[in-house]
Amino acid sequence: MRELSLHILDIVENSVKANATLIQVDIEVKNGYLYITVVDNGKGMSEEFLAKVVDPFTTTRTTRKVGLGIPLIKQAAEVAEGEFSITSKLGEGTTVKTSYKLDSIDRVPLGDVPETITTLLYPNIEFVWRYAVNGEEFIFDTREVKEELQGVPIDSPEILVFLKSLLKENIDSINGGIII
Ligand SMILES: Nc1ncnc2c1ncn2[C@@H]1O[C@H](COP(=O)(O)OP(=O)(O)OP(=O)(O)O)[C@@H](O)[C@H]1O
Ligand SMILES: [Mg+2]
């Protein structure tokens, strides 16, 4: 895939399908590496299922026989001299951790994080996005935003436009001119 944010979309979609109500996404640059972690409180997986989840032929999809979200992010991390891990507990949730060497020749760019965040707004799912670069961080918590909105749907068109520009401003400022 051309961008790591598309992998984030895939992994978060898995959490959504697993009926998570809280999803935390952490994107952090430090010590020459990019770290992406997705934690959900969804239905989780059994030990047996988890052991085979990195295999493309493991899926609970009914529309096709392969599931690629997890194998592809694992590959993206490993070709970029990073690591992949997944932990999960039935009834408790799942954590997917990846890292990428920033200057690895095979690392694809992070891509459009504000777009990714605003694509993933749901009325009934809360997100905590943490974006940090070399010690500076920005946290976007949908619970706080929803409180401010006082009943206006977080995914309504005018709110989306506003949130996208708010996110872009903050992320650009944290990036400090560097393209990740
Ligand atoms: N966060 C999660 N919580 C619970 N189960 C999960 C989670 N992530 C993945 N799974 C399980 O692992 C399977 C494989 O996931 P993967 O993303 O690799 O493929 P997929 O979601 O089935 O298909 P695709 O991502 O290609 O649409 C899923 O079908 C689902 O059963
Ligand atoms: Mg998937």
Instruction: Report angle CA 60, 61, 67 to the nearest 5 degrees.
Output: 85
The residue contributing the CA closest to ligand 1 atom 25 is 69
> How many alpha carbons lie under 13 Å from residue 46 in its C-beta half-sphere?
4
Ligand 1: which of 43, 53, 66, 86 to mutate, most ligand atoms within 8 Å of CB? 53
Q: Which two tokens stand for residue 159?
A: 């709110």
pTM of the model: 0.97
**Distance from C-alpha of 166 to C-alpha of 170, rounded to nearest angstrom:** 6
Domain ranges of the chain: 4-175
Ligand 1: which of 70, 75, 84, 97 to mutate, most ligand atoms within 8 Å of CB? 70
Predicted pLDDT of residue 63: 87
Least confident segment among 80-84, 94-98, 147-151: 147-151
Q: Each residue of 79-95: pLDDT tens digit? A: 999 999 999 999 999 99
Q: Which CATH number fits domain 4-175: 3.30.565.10, 3.90.230.10, 3.40.50.920, 3.30.70.1520?
A: 3.30.565.10
- Sheet of 136-141: strands edge to edge? 84-89, 93-101, 33-40, 22-30, 126-133, 136-141
